[in-house]
Every structure is written in structure tokens, then in C-alpha cells.
Structure 1
Amino acid sequence: MALLPSFLIISLFSVAHAHYGLVGVNYGRVANNLPSPKQVVNLLKSQGINRTKIFDTDKNVLTALANSGINVIVCLPNELLSSVASDQSFSDNWVLTNIKEYFPATNIEAVAVGNEVFVDPSNTTPYLVSAMRNIHSSLVKYKLDQSIKVSSPIALSALANSYPPSSGSFKPDLIEQVIKPMLDLLRKTSSYLMVNVYPFFAYAANADKISLDYALFRDNAGNVDPGSGLRYNSLLDAQIDAVYSAMSAVGFNGVQLMVTETGWPSAGDVNEVGASQSNAAAYNGGLVKRVLTGKGTPLRPRDPLNVYLFALFNENQKPGPTSERNYGLFYPNEAKVYDVPFVAGKKRKSPLKGNRGHAPVPVPAVADEGEKWCVSNGEAGMEKLQAALDYACGEGGADCSPIQPGATCFNPESLEAHASYAFNSYYQKNARRVGTCFFGGAAHVVTQPPRYGKCDFPTKY
């Protein structure tokens, strides 16, 4: 994460047929007091978080994530860019050792080649695009390119202008050298631009001009872009559309964006205006609620937002101001710094009475192969099963008519049986895409046909 007051933005890569935005969390480890990777995976699952991003390819972390149902973005560190860019065999070996070794048990969905390279004091920018090309070529070599994307997170400081959003533009010295060739590669490989966006920096530097409500997704009068006439009610939306405008200005309208870092600190130094626990809860809570509506930005209303919150834990060894050590959603002892719900959904009619909770939005991704079924996890607990069943039969669009009273699959009249039928209906309708049989840990995939009474479970719809 850049310490510079950066102003960035980004809408999000929208998986085909996904009607909601996706929310993940960055799992940073610049600390000496964090729980083990296995404990972290259990924490993620307990919160219904099925997407994470790490800043390396740590063996212990990738092993712990195996068969967890959690998608992960991994990172090639900046210090390796030169070697990867100049030597295809080095790139091949890195992918073989750090990606192929763990995939598909560990569901690696993307490689972030470097991180905020344009502000790297080691001047690694000249190597970026070549390194991205070589990593992609290595993925092609090992037949991983259809499952794993290649991109690189940029800081908002890559923009020369971000206000108003319609005037967004990249810094001139970056355009020909790296922006255009990078966007061209992303377009050719059907990938997306990763962007790290921190409205906190913009607010802290301009608190006399920017409304706190505008920065925190609270009700506000909004701002009208004089160039486009579009009204903005959140700073993040404005920043995202500034990036889209910048890409449009260099001829790349079709490339989508993913917000790979965004967050708000729960504590800061005296001069860090706005850093507080209540503001952090308002920002991240408002953001999650905003993303899970499925709505896009004023400029791209049909493109749902995909974001990765920064960060999972407060990290006590991060350098810089106090805020840098206080972006976590959790303390190292796994207690919440504040509450942020990672689930979405409304109360829907399901065949059994019970608590009507909010079920996690599954994550469509790459299709599974072979005959497989999705069934309920009996260890998930009644409340989680009921909430997931409500989602599947409601917003999920599963065919739950066979488990209504008097229908063919109503018996046995049990929550576990009914949930299994609904989960499988959702899973099969979504072509068995990875992530569509998870429901926050309430479901899992099996390779033997499930049987509940005389009810048959379809393998396609």
C-alpha cells in the first residue's frame, strides 16, 4: 500500500453472469503476532469470506488455503521483476514452483505482478510489462492461463488528474512507456486492471473541501461532474470513474477494473484527520453494503464493483505513520476491531421455518469438470444452513419447487436435505463453477450422487 496521498479508483472485474459485486480481504503479514495460516483460513471461512489476496506465494499460506473454497490472488514481488522480465526460463520456473505446485487444490485466480510498481523507489517500472508477458507465457505453457489471470496493482498516483472524474488522465510519462502496452496485454488476455484506492488519503489531505459523509458512503447531497453531468454520492465512485476516464482517454474502454486494496484506518497520528474506529467501521461497512447491491458507478452502472478490503489484521511491524498499523478488521487475537458483515441477501421464502439470516453471495468462476453435486455441510449449524437456503431459493434463483410441501423432494422434511437440494440446483444452474458451492462454508462438493429419500439430484439444468 502506498504511503503517498494517492487518489485512485476502480470498478471491478465482473465474472460472467454474476449479479453482485465481490468482496475479498487482503491478508498482509507484516507482523510478529499473527495467528497461523490454518487459523486464518478458519477465520475467513467463519466470516463468509471466500476471496483473499496475499503479497507473496508463501508455502504455508497456500497450503493452508488448499481445498478451502477460498479464491486467492498471489503476488510476484517487485524485486523479482527484472529477473522475470529478462529470462523466460526464470519465469517458467517461478510459475512451476509457486503456482502449478499448488493449483488447483489452492484456487489461485490471479497473479499480481509487482505491487504499485510506479512508486517503487527501486525504479522497476521498465521491467513491468515484460514481466507480465513472461508470466502469462508461463501460465500458457503449463495450461493455466484459462484459469489464472495476470495483472498488476497500480496506485492512484498514476493519474495526473482525477477531478472531476470525466477529466481523469494518466501521467504523460507513463502512457507510452507502460500504460498502453499494459492495457493492451490485459485486453488481449481478457484480464483486468488492478488498482489500489484509498479515499482516506484524499479526505485527510483535503478535509476542508471534502465532506466526510461523501467519503464514508453516508447520505449526502453529492457532487455533479460538470463535464459529464453525472452525480456522485461517494468519493470512491468518483475515483473509480476517473480511472475509467483515463483509460478511455488512451483508447482502452473495454478493460475492466478491480479494486485490489481499499480501506480506512481505525487509528492514526494527530495529523491524520479522520482516522478513527467509527469512521473505519462506516467506510468498510458502507462499502460492503454498496458492493453487494450489484450496482456499478455512475459512468459504468452495469459493471458490479469487486473490491479487496485492506486488511485482515492490524500489522504491528508496518513502517510509517500510526494509520499503517491500524487498517485491520481484526486484532491478531482474531477479535474484531469493529463489525463488518460480509454477507448479503434479503429474507426469502424457503420451505422450512426458521431463522431468516443473510447468506453469502457465491462466487462464480471456472467450471468444474466431471459429474459433481453440491450438498449441505452438516457441521455448518442450523442458522448458517437456513440463511444459505434462504439465499439459494431467493436471490440465488435455485429451483426450490421440488422441496415445497407436497412436492417430490419435500421428504425427508429436514433442513439439511432441503438445503442440499437447493444448493445443488444453484450449483448446476451455474455450470458447477468453482465457488458456487460454498455458501460461506455451508456447502461442499461431492463426487457421489447424494440420496435423500427417493429424491434424485440432477447433474444439469
Structure 2
Amino acid sequence: MVRCLGRVLLMLFLTILPFARGTFVGFNIGTQVSSLPAASDIVLILKNNQISHVRLYDADAHILKALSNSGIDVVVGVTNEEVLGIGQSPSTAASWVNKNVVPYLPSTNITAIAVGSEVLTTIPNAAPILVPAMNNLNKALVASNLNFLVKISSPQSMDIIPRPFPPSTATFNSSLNSTIYQMLQFLKNTNSSFMLNAYPYYGYTQGNGIFPIDYALFRPLTPVKQIVDPNTLSHYKSMFEAMVDAAYYSIDSMNFSGIPITVTETGWPWLGGTTEPDATVENAETFNNNLISRVLNGSGPPSQVNVPMNTYIYELFNEDERPGPVSEKNWGVIFTNGTAVYPLSSTGASLGATNSSGQFCIAKPGSDQDKLQAGLNWACGQGQVNCAAIQSGQPCYTPNTLENHASYAYNDYYQRMHSAGGTCDFQGTAIITTSDPSYGTCAFTGSSNATMNSTLPSIANSPVSPQSGCPASTSTSYLRILSLCATLFGFLTLLRRPF
């Protein structure tokens, strides 16, 4: 029991690390999915991938409850349909907060409320009511003594900035000036972020060839193609950071400063129709991997180099029930069965497994073949290893041997679970090595060269491992310990940085 308590406390400590880090890449979770996984399975995917931040488009009770004690920061959403009522009635705002925020804190780490989605461009007639809605919600938080823990903002599209390039001359749409000024004043007064949806995909595909695709995908540009703001001589290495800077300059044009920008949506579709040739797996993989690397280096755009560009990728799952062109349904990085659409980089602690010990778990040479097969089956099943990398045509399939495939699966399980008590045993068919077993294009989890081949797990029926080191007979006590940890965590959330 003492060992289990130690592991629980260690896991609790690890969940606190992202808050101290200050820079993150999160994911949007849309629910227009015909076969959306159960809330508990969604949280399992997030935790196994060390995803520390998520944004919901509503306040889904099942997901919020499942996120309890997960250590994951959550942005909940007020839907566009709810904005009008909340803006007109303080009591409606109070009821919304009392229903969708208060019951879940502190065990579920709700850090922000996103009021509507691109309200100023999708339903401009609602503009006059948007800031009153934000104020009413904030008053409700104040009444519950939660205003220092939960911030309020409203995600806006790049469409509110008619001419985003060059960034230094960017300004907001003048017809929205009154509302945007009020919003910025609110954000300044409440120490909140400006939420921006910035899509280089649309900037490129709707740009009539003005900018090269390498610029949209964070690829290096040749000297001839360098993108430079003629007024500041700032070099922009990607359209993404130019978009963020355009928003900063637009804020500055209204005489506000010190309001950080959080990018609440960005991404790249991996599949499109016949008229959408740039929506490809290769482009989506390139964009999101380069995005993760760029954001997690901790620096901002040229005008705000010391301010991190915290970002939420759109999105975790493909929303196949969304209307519109083919691309609208294919922005996800993971299929609903838990397998990756394409590998994502494990750069930084937010995504992927780390291996500070330098140890790897591989199949023991000469092991019984039946036991090896059983171990492999367990790892790819109950062990929740994503075994896509060892399937035919994938980077770790060759050599096509049971020992090689078991080594990959054993190691992936071990890298993710050994800090929580998972062992390298598998009925005596596994052994620890300090030699990196990676080869060619096959990068084992925990390798310094690893990509996210195995970080998106297959959804299993049971998240509990028989090798965890915590016997089933201690489950009741284990839950009590988790409850105690939740209380401690509730106190620690008070120390978190603003979202």
C-alpha cells in the first residue's frame, strides 16, 4: 500500500509539472462524431499521451466528470446559442456557472470559459451582447470566489483583421471597434488572454498564391522567398506567427498592451475533396509537427518574443458529422478506435513519452514463443499500446519477427507505465537494456530520436494493468488515496498560472 501511495503521489506531482512549464500545446475536442468514444476512454487517450490542456466547445457533463483528478487543464465553452440569454440576464449567467463550473471544481481543472465561437464574424448581430455576457459570467464567478481561478475570454476568427499582412499595419475591422475595445478592456481588467483562431491552411488556400506553401507549413524558406515586414524588417518564418503578430499589432492599435494571445484553434486537414488538393496527410503531419516544435520552444512572434504562443490544435478526433466540404470532417489527429491518423512529434513534455532513465524494455532472446505471443497480445490490448507501428508497411514492421514486435510493444508499455509501477517482465519474456533498440526509421518509445509512433493508444476495455504493482484487493484503499490526493490537488490548483 505504501508503494502504491508513493506512485499515486508521484503521478500527482507529474500532473503539476505542465502548470509550472508555462508553455503548452493542447487539443480541441469536438463532439460531432458518429462514434465518439466514451468519456473515460477520451480521458485515457489524453493521459497516456501526456496531453495537459484541452478545450471543449460546450460544458459536456460526461467529459467534465471523467476529467476529474486527471490533472488536465480544461477550457469549457458557452455555445453561440447560449450567449444571447447569458448576455441579457445575470441570473442566467449565474445559473450557467453554477451548473457547468462550480460542481466540477477543484477536482476538474477548469481554467477558462470560452464565450461563444467566433461570435463577431459568425453572428455579428450578437456583437452588442457579447461583452455583457462575459461580464455577467465574471460576476457569477466573483460571487463563487472563482474569478481568480477561472478566466473568461471569447475566441475570435482572423476575419476580424481584414488585412493581416504586413502585421505591423494590421488593425481590427473598424465596424467592430466598439465591441472589441470593450472586450480588450475586460481582458485587461481580469488578467485574461485574447483567444484567437488562426488557420494558415485557409490563409494559404485562399491567398491566391501570394505566399508559398512552405511558409504555411513552417518549412524553411530560401533567401529569395523570405517573408519580411517592410515597416519593422521583422522576418516571419511561418504564416502562423505572422497571424499571431497581426493580432498583437491590432491590439496595440487600440492602445492596449500586456494582453497575451492564446491560439484556441489551428491545424491542417489531412483529407479533402477534389477541389482541396492541399488537404493531405503529408501536409497535416508536417504542419502539426512543426507547430508543436515551434510553440514548445517557448518564444513568441517577433513583436512579443518573450510571450509564449500557447496553442490548441484543431482537433483530437475527426468530426464526421460536420457539414461542408470533405476537409471539414478530417482535421483530427486520432481515429475514434484510438489509432493515430499520422505520427506526431514528442518534442517537449506535453506530448509523448520521456525516458530519463536511459533504459529500454525488450523481448528476452530465446523466450517461449507462446508466452511472447501472449505478452504481445496483452500489450496491444489491455496494455493500451498503440501497435500501429508494427503493422505491415509501418516503420517497425520489419524484421517481421515475434521477438521484434514484442520488443516494440513491451518497451512502449514500460516507458509509459514504469513510473506508475508497470514492470518489464511479461511472464519472464522481457529484459531491461540500456542500448537504444531503435533502428532505421523505427524509433522506439523513449528514444531520443523517437517520433510519436506509439503515443496514441488503442482504446482498451480496462485501464488497469495486472502488472501495475497495486493488487486488485487494494482498489478500495487506492480510491481513498486518490480522494485525498484530489483534495491536495485542489489546493495546488490555486498556485497555477493563468491560462
TM-score band (shorter)? 0.7 to 0.9
Structure 1 residue 353 displacement after superposition: 4.9
Structure 1 residue 434 displacement after superposition: 4.1
Equivalent of 2:336 in 332, 340, 354: 332
1:445: which partner in 2? none
1:312: which partner in 2? 316
1:454: which partner in 2? none
- C-alpha distance 188-380 of structure 1, shift in aligned 2 (>3 A): farther
1:195: which partner in 2? 196
Unmatched segments (≥5 aa) in structure 2: 1-16, 362-417, 426-431, 433-443, 449-468, 470-490
TM superposition score normalised by structure 2: 0.68
1:292: which partner in 2? 296
Answer yes or no: is 1:233 the counterpart of 2:237.
yes
- C-alpha distance 436-93 of structure 1, shift in aligned 2 (>3 A): closer
Query: Would the aligned equivalents of 1:20 and 1:291 in 2 still touch at CA under 8 Å?
Result: no
Structure 1 residue 355 displacement after superposition: 4.8
1:255: which partner in 2? 259
Query: Would the aligned equivalents of 1:25 and 1:308 in 2 still touch at CA under 8 Å?
Result: yes
Answer yes or no: is 1:139 the counterpart of 2:144.
no
Structure 1 residue 86 displacement after superposition: 1.6
Equivalent of 2:32 in 22, 30, 33: 30
Structure 1 residue 48 displacement after superposition: 1.3
Structure 1 residue 121 displacement after superposition: 3.8
- Residue type of the partner of 1:104? P
Q: What do residues 1-60 of structure 1 show as CA deviations (whole Å, max 9, x unaligned)? A: xxxxxxxxxxxxxx9995562110000010111211110100111111111001111111
- Residue type of the partner of 2:302? P
The alignment's C-alpha RMSD in Å is 3.2
Q: How does 1:368-379 map to 2 (within 5 A)?
A: 376-379=419-422
- Measured in 1, the distance between the counterparts of 2:278 and 2:230 equals 28
Q: How does 1:195-214 map to 2 (within 5 A)?
A: 195-206=196-207, 208-214=209-215
Equivalent of 2:274 in 270, 275, 295: 270
Structure 1 residue 253 displacement after superposition: 1.6
Q: How does 1:173-184 map to 2 (within 5 A)?
A: 173-176=175-178, 178-184=179-185
- Measured in 1, the distance between the counterparts of 2:184 and 2:147 equals 17
Structure 1 residue 105 displacement after superposition: 1.1
Structure 1 residue 137 displacement after superposition: 0.5
Answer yes or no: is 1:216 the counterpart of 2:217.
yes
- Measured in 2, the distance between the counterparts of 1:166 and 1:90 equals 41
Equivalent of 2:359 in 336, 354, 375: 354
- Measured in 2, the distance between the counterparts of 1:104 and 1:186 equals 23
- C-alpha distance 381-203 of structure 1, shift in aligned 2 (>3 A): farther
Larger fraction in helix = 2
Query: Would the aligned equivalents of 2:353 and 2:446 in 1 still touch at CA under 8 Å?
Result: no
SS at match of 1:200: helix
1:302: which partner in 2? 306
Structure 1 residue 287 displacement after superposition: 0.3
- C-alpha distance 82-435 of structure 1, shift in aligned 2 (>3 A): closer
Structure 1 residue 298 displacement after superposition: 1.1
- C-alpha distance 32-16 of structure 1, shift in aligned 2 (>3 A): closer
- C-alpha distance 118-251 of structure 1, shift in aligned 2 (>3 A): same
Answer yes or no: is 1:323 the counterpart of 2:327.
yes
Query: Would the aligned equivalents of 1:48 and 1:342 in 2 still touch at CA under 8 Å?
Result: no
Q: How does 1:66-81 map to 2 (within 5 A)?
A: 66-81=68-83
* Alignment coverage as a number of residue pairs: 363
SS at match of 1:271: coil
- Measured in 2, the distance between the counterparts of 1:205 and 1:142 equals 45
Query: Would the aligned equivalents of 1:49 and 1:342 in 2 still touch at CA under 8 Å?
Result: no
Seq. identity, %: 35
- Measured in 2, the distance between the counterparts of 1:36 and 1:267 equals 25
Q: What do residues 203-253 of structure 1 show as CA deviations (whole Å, max 9, x unaligned)? A: 111252211111111111331100111011100011111110000001112
- Measured in 2, the distance between the counterparts of 1:143 and 1:119 equals 33
- Measured in 1, the distance between the counterparts of 2:18 and 2:41 equals 32
Structure 1 residue 390 displacement after superposition: 12
SS at match of 1:56: coil
- C-alpha distance 119-143 of structure 1, shift in aligned 2 (>3 A): same
SS at match of 1:123: helix
Q: What do residues 116-160 of structure 1 show as CA deviations (whole Å, max 9, x unaligned)? A: 001224732121000000000000000111110000000010112
1:124: which partner in 2? 126
Structure 1 residue 332 displacement after superposition: 1.7
2:164: which partner in 1? 162
- C-alpha distance 347-189 of structure 1, shift in aligned 2 (>3 A): closer
- C-alpha distance 137-342 of structure 1, shift in aligned 2 (>3 A): farther
Structure 1 residue 289 displacement after superposition: 0.8
Query: Would the aligned equivalents of 2:355 and 2:446 in 1 still touch at CA under 8 Å?
Result: no
- C-alpha distance 91-435 of structure 1, shift in aligned 2 (>3 A): closer
- C-alpha distance 435-148 of structure 1, shift in aligned 2 (>3 A): closer
- Measured in 2, the distance between the counterparts of 1:242 and 1:30 equals 31
Query: Would the aligned equivalents of 1:160 and 1:172 in 2 still touch at CA under 8 Å?
Result: no
- Measured in 1, the distance between the counterparts of 2:294 and 2:91 equals 44
- C-alpha distance 334-112 of structure 1, shift in aligned 2 (>3 A): same
- Measured in 1, the distance between the counterparts of 2:423 and 2:220 equals 37
Unmatched segments (≥5 aa) in structure 1: 1-14, 357-374, 392-415, 417-431, 438-461
- Measured in 1, the distance between the counterparts of 2:234 and 2:216 equals 17
SS at match of 2:152: strand
2:386: which partner in 1? none
- Measured in 1, the distance between the counterparts of 2:124 and 2:323 equals 17
- Measured in 1, the distance between the counterparts of 2:423 and 2:123 equals 47
1:281: which partner in 2? 285
2:84: which partner in 1? 82
2:400: which partner in 1? none
Query: Would the aligned equivalents of 1:66 and 1:105 in 2 still touch at CA under 8 Å?
Result: yes
- Measured in 2, the distance between the counterparts of 1:330 and 1:182 equals 35
Q: What do residues 375-420 of structure 1 show as CA deviations (whole Å, max 9, x unaligned)? A: 953249899xxx99999xxxxxxxxxxxxxxxxxxxxxxxx9xxxx
